[in-house]
Structure 1
Amino acid sequence: MPASTPVRPQTRPLAAVARVVMLALVAVLTLIATRDATQLWWIVLLAVAGLPALLGPEHRLLSPVSRVAEAVVLGLAASQVAVESALGGAVGGLGASAVLPYLAVPVTVTALRRRFAEGAALLGVTAATLLVAGAFTEVDGGRQLGQPGYLAVCAQWLILAALGLYAAGALHQVMRVRGEGKPQPYAEATRLLTQLRTVARQLPGATLDPGGISEHLLEELRTVAPSTRAAVLSASGGGRLVVLAQVGVDRVDWETTLDADSAIADAWASQQPQTAARSQARSHRGGDVSALIVPLVAGVRTVGLVVLEADAAHAYPPPVVSRVTALTGPAALRLEAALLFDEVRSLATNEERQRLAREIHDGVAQELVMVGYGIDNALAYVDEDPKETAEALRTLRGEVTRVITELRLSLFELRSEVDRHGGLAAAIAEYARTVGASGGLRVHLSLDESTARLPAATEAELLRIAQEAVTNARKHAGAANLWVTCEVDPPYAQIEVSDDGHGIGDQRAEGHYGLAIMAERAERIRGRLEIRPRQPSGTTVAVVVGSSPRRDNVRGSAAAEGE
């Protein structure tokens, strides 16, 4: 069996430097006190005694023994240097103060390693060595131990070292108690969320809406910089950006890929404003253009971009850039707060949906399944009045099956989310197909979704509104067909769900839970909810976010004709 090669312990550069500095200081003080270079051999002995502790700080035996050796050599050196300094005319015993400052080295090392008992033991060894050396050393015809100056200097440095060791121990105890008393993660989260709620209520308008903040910023920028079109973009994950808000006559398909060769990607990476002589929109028709892209930086994090474009050359000289950045700085903090609030709310909502889904699956659904099995057994073994009993049980079995189906659809609804890569249209289509198949509905889909994405919070709310509309059509409309239209062109989106059933009837009554929830969700994303009859029969539920690109184009054309 080959012999193992011991690993040489690594020295700590800071500890080595501290020892060298302290040794040099003590050497200088010794020369000043004694004016005798031969006394420096005590300094050499101190260095040799401390070498094992320096080279093997983690060794269980060498390191403590080395520090004890330092304490012994230190006591002997202090006694001898005091004698030599007295021979040179100094007050008896005061020369010990030239060497005793080195006592800080072994004591500090033990304190840093939280070996406070060892530190106290080193002080005891040093004190004993000083006493023994003083008892056997003669100075001016008497024992060194009888000199008040020697005793005073030794006591002074021992007390200072003891106080330092005690302070280190007390500080360690306080830090340990504070560490044990730290609040649990959920308690800390509750405290932070409570603070966030309080701050949110104090904000202007009592809102943390990324879209609203972005629109307000664009309105402010129109007063300091010319722009034909402008937008605020934010990251959505996967190296892509989403449009939070935009202004302009025409709808713009902005460059939203951060790995593309564009000024948008450069501004995001550099966190510096960028100007360009070409449009940052994929759909631009050409001609003179000036673009200004300003990153929204909160602290060290880029939370978004402001893109301004004008159909003119050199529209953004340095003074204009300075005025724009003066407005975007404070806006970046507001936008970051709104995005964080949206993220926290989304996490809490998703967690609650998962919790409800687990409770339904593990509770009511399982119990109903067992009821169904019991009915099956009763059908198999019924003896008295078999015809009537069997019919009643079949009816009950059908009802249980219906309830189980409803629960499974509810679970599917709770667990449905907008996939990071699939998009809103895919999520709505999947839900409509699943619900339509379970309810015997023929589903007609019309999907038109841009490659750009809406903010995650907006997509989530639109999905829930569509789910509620589809569920209402299946449960209450008595319809045979379901039409689902999804058009997404950020920041615009329109979701429309229609059926050919018997109409909404008295569900329009104020306070109806499902309709109220849809209205609240639409209001939360600053959308418009419309519920209207469908001709010749049925109901249409539509939700719109932003303004239609077609409507913008028509308005722009009309304005051009008017001019």
Structure 2
Amino acid sequence: MTPEAPPPTTPIRAHPLAVAARIVMLALVAVLVLLTTQELDQLWWVALLIVAGLPAVIAPRHPVLAPLGRFAEVIIVGIGASQVAEHAAGNALGQGIGALALLPYLSVPLTVTALRRRSRESAALLVTATLALVVGGAISSTGGEPLIGKLGYLVVSAQWLILASLGTLAASTLQRIMQQRGEAGRPQPYAEATRLLTQLRSVARQLPGATLDPGGISEHLLEELRGVARAERAAVLSASGGGRLVVLAQAGVDRVDWETSLDADSAIAEAWASQQPYTANRSQARSHRRGDVSALVVPLVAGVRTVGLVIIEADAAGAYPPAVVQEVTGLTGPAALRLEAALLFDEVRSLATNEERQRLAREIHDGVAQELVMVGYGIDNALATLPDEAKETAEELRTLRGEVTRVITELRLSLFELRSEVDRHGGLAAAISEYARTVGASGGLRVHVTLDDTTARLPAATEAELLRIAQEAITNARKHAGATNLWVSCSIDPPYAQIEVSDDGQGIADQRPDGRYGLAIMAERAERIRGRLEISPRSPSGTTVAVVVGTSPRRDSVRDSVTASEGE
């Protein structure tokens, strides 16, 4: 059996800056040789250096070629320096100056070795360079005043060896410091995440009310602002992605359809971009109010990041002089940091939850779902090969096959539920509608969907929880109610939302324990987003599950008027 050849490896090339530095040094040495000797044939030493430096360019990390190339370079410099000094123009003292032509090149191999943290090789290179310079000086012949010539050569050589040693030491020290700083500054993702999340948990427990709820923080801020400034209408908005804002909380007797686009020509966009308070003499709603209106938009800036906006409006001109603006900004500064912490906490929790749901979906799909499919195929094969006289066995296998098919269908619906998310462009109502129609069709239910949606969006965490509540209610109706009709209504008017799921089944009194467990899960989800879960019987039969988040001044006023008319 012939062993497999190892996969080809991609050669590691030298860094472009290192190649450029080597070229510049070679050019400098060539110029110095010409200036000191004025003989073109002495450039062959530069050519030898080019050949010796090729391994450093072609294979800088090769365990044999790269070190050999560096040793060849220092030997060429040591021997060549004495020969160039011998041909130097001028008197014998010029021979010492001529040695300067090649000696600067010693810094190249020594610095490369030091940066690669090869201390033993650096010491060996220094010893080799010293021996090469001594041998070169011994074999060179000098005319005129040999003593002066050799003395100048030796002095210059010793100076450059000392400089090379100091440069090597400095490069090695610098490399070590950079490595230590890199290791100290390089985050260890899981350890760092654990530390930060642990701190976040501790801080969250110490906060007032032990909560990190963006909606609650926003409502508290609006209450404080209405205590220092006149505000017939007010709202807190935050970014949701896609250049749009979501309403976290609002206050006032009238329903306001706030401008939520950051691309529009509005005070909202100006305040967001400039991170400065912005006043205007018109409403920041899409349907502008007539008459005198004063609007104040204050960005919520935490550090250098804008995390949201506060809008307050009064039905009067000049309602927000500089003194009022200063009082408002004094309250929004600390609130911005609290809101940023709450939004980050929501984002981390949402990412972790979505990742876990996707992981569970993958495991179910690749594990038990595939195994059940194989069990079904096995039953089909057994039925196909069963003798005709084994009727009772065949009937039992068909019953078992039907049960396996039912379980596979349930698993597929569970996978669909795990993978369902609120699309950024479609919105919550579209996601609930798609889920209701898909699950209803699989369960033989007639699905009736009513949507009352707006272009404004709820916070992502709120939309995710509302979707899960609606999914649980629809699943309960399909599995436990024995219903034939399913009514789903979505009314979304941020920060208000109401999701209602009704069926004409047997009601909640006779539901199985797992159905009651689903109701408990829905109640926990509603409490998490500060919502109200209402479960009531439907006349003449069935159950209605409704979840309400926030308040809507428009709906409250309609409800109050209806109640008043009924009382009359």
Distance 2:158 2:260 in 1: 77
Residues 368-413 of structure 1: CA distance to partner in whole angstroms, max 9, x if unpaired? Answer: 3233333333434444754433433333232222222211211111
Letter in 1 for 2:467: L
Residues 257-297 of structure 1: CA distance to partner in whole angstroms, max 9, x if unpaired? Answer: 11111111122222222211111101343111111112222
Distance 1:74 1:323 in 2: 78
TM-aligned CA deviation for residue 197 of structure 1: 3.0
Contact 1:106/1:119, CA 8 A, preserved across alignment: no
* Matched residue SS, 1:359: helix
- 2:369 matched to 1:394? no
2:340 corresponds to which of 336, 340, 353: 336
Change (3 A) 1:545 1:423: same
User: Which residue does the alignment assign to 1:530?
Assistant: 534
Distance 2:299 2:431 in 1: 32
Deviates more, 1:235-244 or 1:456-465: 235-244
Contact 1:120/1:162, CA 8 A, preserved across alignment: no
TM-aligned CA deviation for residue 539 of structure 1: 0.9
- 2:203 matched to 1:220? no
- 2:248 matched to 1:244? yes
Query: Which sections of structure 1, spanning at least 5 residues, go unmatched?
Result: 1-8, 20-40, 78-101, 559-563
- 2:173 matched to 1:167? yes
TM-aligned CA deviation for residue 461 of structure 1: 0.4
User: Which residue does the alignment assign to 1:450?
Assistant: 454
Letter in 2 for 1:261: D
- 2:292 matched to 1:288? yes
Alignment map for 1:384-533 (pairs within 5 Å): 386-505=390-509, 507=511, 512-533=516-537
Residues 137-176 of structure 1: CA distance to partner in whole angstroms, max 9, x if unpaired? Answer: 99999x969x9x9999899767644542442454466568
CA RMSD of aligned residues (A): 5.2
Identity of paired residues, percent?
71
Change (3 A) 1:329 1:391: same
- 2:347 matched to 1:352? no
Distance 2:553 2:455 in 1: 15
Contact 1:251/1:553, CA 8 A, preserved across alignment: no
- 2:317 matched to 1:309? no
TM-aligned CA deviation for residue 363 of structure 1: 2.5
Letter in 1 for 2:454: S
Query: Which sections of structure 2, spanning at least 5 residues, go unmatched?
Result: 1-14, 26-34, 58-68, 85-103, 563-568
Change (3 A) 1:157 1:538: same
* Matched residue SS, 1:505: coil
Distance 1:71 1:327 in 2: 74
Residues 7-58 of structure 1: CA distance to partner in whole angstroms, max 9, x if unpaired? Answer: xx9989x989x99xxxxxxxxxxxxxxxxxxxxx99x9xxx9xx99xx9xx9
Letter in 1 for 2:444: G
How many residues in Structure 1 have an aligned counterpart in Structure 2?
523
Letter in 2 for 1:412: F
Contact 2:80/2:136, CA 8 A, preserved across alignment: no
TM-score by length of 1: 0.75
Change (3 A) 1:221 1:112: farther
Distance 1:345 1:223 in 2: 33
Letter in 2 for 1:310: A
Residues 455-490 of structure 1: CA distance to partner in whole angstroms, max 9, x if unpaired? Answer: 111111001101111111111111121111110000
Distance 1:507 1:406 in 2: 18
1:319 corresponds to which of 319, 323, 336: 323
Distance 1:319 1:556 in 2: 38
- 2:373 matched to 1:375? no
Letter in 2 for 1:428: I
Letter in 2 for 1:485: S
Deviates more, 1:547-556 or 1:264-273: 547-556
Letter in 2 for 1:216: H
TM-score by length of 2: 0.74
TM-aligned CA deviation for residue 223 of structure 1: 2.7
Contact 2:114/2:172, CA 8 A, preserved across alignment: no
